[in-house]
Amino acid sequence: MTDQRATVHVQDHVLIITMIRHAKRNAIDGEMTLAIDAALNRLEDEADLWVGIITGGPDMFCAGTDMAATSGTPTERGGIYGVVGRTRTKPLIAAVEGVAFGGGFEVVMACDMVVAATNARFGLPEVKRGLVATSGAMFRASRVLPLNVAKQVMLSGAELSPADGHRLGLVNELCEPGAALEAALALAAQITANAPIAVQQSLQAIDALASADDSLGWELTAKARKVNMASDDSKEGVAAFFEKRPPEWSGR
């Protein structure tokens, strides 16, 4: 099946979602949010689908929210991007090539496992734009990375290399450029070789424990966004981005 913003393909018991807005580095707009949401609803609802993979193709993963168009309205079942607020019962693997910035990195953090090519680029550059991460990184970054590393990534806007991501536990498997989807399918095959109900119950138990404080995390994220969006610096950062110039921060 083809959507304007994504392709969906089934291989054995695996649903593969490929974001295809390549001219915008797969930046997520409202249409892509709906496409991802529909695909993940299908993964959840069809009994014969046991594992999902989300990828952006062989050249890039996702550059986050389309700052001009916005990512649209959060969906009822999936939340922001149709994925980061979703309660899932089936494993979802991120297959990452190239950039996974901002909201793209937050999509990665919302997945259960990560396969990354050695040319992958992870980063949360929001602070460089006078913004804050609003799609789960506030609480998930310190869940998938050591606390001080999470702080460095979020407060400096510096990139995290795939090698460091693998060493620190964010990335399950490293592979050569162009091979992320193949490696993700191999990981999915390890999972689909097992009893699906046992896998699903195990995942739900792990996630219930890991996400027990998510409601507080979303509350604190909303507070940070509200305070930040009232600042002059948030307006300056966005203006500088579109005007392709260095921002001039005032601290107000």
Catalytic residue positions? 106, 126
Reference 99, options 187, 31, 176, 24; nearest CA is 24
Strand 92-96 versus strand 99-101 pairing type:
unpaired
148: tokens are: 């001080």
Do residues 26 and 102 touch, judged by C-beta distance below 8 A? no
3-state class (DSSP) for residue 14 = strand
Distance from the Cα of residue 115 to its chain's centroid:
13
Rounded Cα–Cα distance for residues 225 and 10 (Å): 38
Contact in structure between 220 and 138 (CB atoms under 8 Å): yes
Distance separating alpha carbons of residues 137 and 115, to the nearest angstrom: 19
DSSP structural state of residue 125: G
